Amino acid sequence: MSFLTILPLAIVMVAGPQILSAIFLATSRDWRRNSALFVSGAALSISTVVALAYFLGIGSRRAGDDSNGLLSTVVLVLILAAMISTFLGREESEPPKWMGKLERATPRFSFRLGFLLLGVFPTDIITSVAVGSYLASNDLPLVDAAPFVALTLLLLALPSLGVLLLGDRAETALPRIRDWMNDNAWLVNEVVLAFFFVLTVT
């Protein structure tokens, strides 16, 4: 898988509450430990889902082109329905209640959050399964998923890396970015869904 192939997949993985959580944690009290454990939890869940899809052959060509075509159609319909629902509910859109805990997050909570957000979030499950099944159906080794996992984790780590490298400037900028994403959660969701729609069609 080339860089141009995995980049949009990695962006889909982190866009939305995933990167917003990473920003919140990078501005939390124990930000170094929280951010590191958040990324560690994400690494475990992504690797697990990709490996399961790989070894179980989920969505591989052996399942038949007809079933894959039906699955793609169902996914497209669900994405369109989600986009319409998100747009219609944009005025009432609010961040999940658990996000209010992120500024006071504990290391244990951060690890669990990383594991769950990147492991059970619908778009992330579909993307990780797509990577694992692609490798299996093309008889490629599982280790070829490493660049996808690594790039996803790098994107998740960018807020904390920014604080580490830029110091006060990042600490000033990140809350502004966080607040903008918080206030425009519906728009972020629409971009993610549109991105995934294009990936499914192509």
Cβ atoms of residues 159 and 23 within 8 Å? yes
User: What is the per-residue pLDDT for 76?
Assistant: 63
Is residue 40 classed exposed, middle or buried when 0-12, 13-18 and 19+ CB atoms within 10 A define those classes? middle
pTM of the model: 0.73
Distance CA 179, CA 131 (A): 32
Q: Are 176 and 24 in contact (CB under 8 A)?
A: no
Q: What is the mean pLDDT of residues 98-125?
A: 83
Encode pLDDT of 13-72 as tens digits: 887 788 888 888 887 788 889 999 999 999 999 999 999 989 987 655 444 454 455 545
